[in-house]
Amino acid sequence: MANKRRRIEKLRGSREHGRGRKKGRGSGLRGGVGNAGSFGHKVVHYRKVYGDRYFGRHGFKRPVASVRDVRAVNVGELERLLASFEAEGHVVREGDVTVVDLAAAGYDKLLGGGAVERALRVKVTAATPRAVEKLHGQGGGVETPPQA
């Protein structure tokens, strides 16, 4: 491999070292680093790629005080969670109906996903119509506090 010369040695004597006139000088033709030029020489490119979505503010940010995280559970999951609710003292048996206090357990809403196998009466802040229908079908029901 003694005949193999390094590239820089091969290019000695050629004016541009195989890079053309100005492209090979430092960071030439790059146009800056990162978002440099997004308001200047690259603005046309940014408008083509992102449209009017890139510049300015868009949308609405809800105040933190008005944002509330709703904790919900499906009726199908109640059977699985019944043992843990009972251990925490949120379940009372009244004859063949099991009364579950979801509001005390920290849940805000009852959803209608899944199937119900036994008669459950659930105390909860809010419930979907499908959840109410499924619980009534098994001989149970939903108790919600009166709306203010």
Token pair, residue 12, equals 């000695």
Question: Which domains, from first to last, does the chain contain?
Answer: 14-59 (no CATH), 72-143 (3.100.10.10)
Is the pLDDT score of 139 beyond 80? yes
- pLDDT of res. 48: 93
pLDDT, tens digit, 9 for 90 and up, residues 46-71: 999 998 888 888 889 999 998 888 89
- pLDDT of res. 25: 67
Detail the DSSP E strand segments found in the chain: 72-74, 91-94, 97-101, 109-111, 120-123, 126-127, 141-143
- pLDDT of res. 20: 78
pLDDT, tens digit, 9 for 90 and up, residues 8-27: 888 898 888 888 777 766 77
**Single-letter amino acid code for the residue at 16:** E
- pLDDT of res. 15: 84
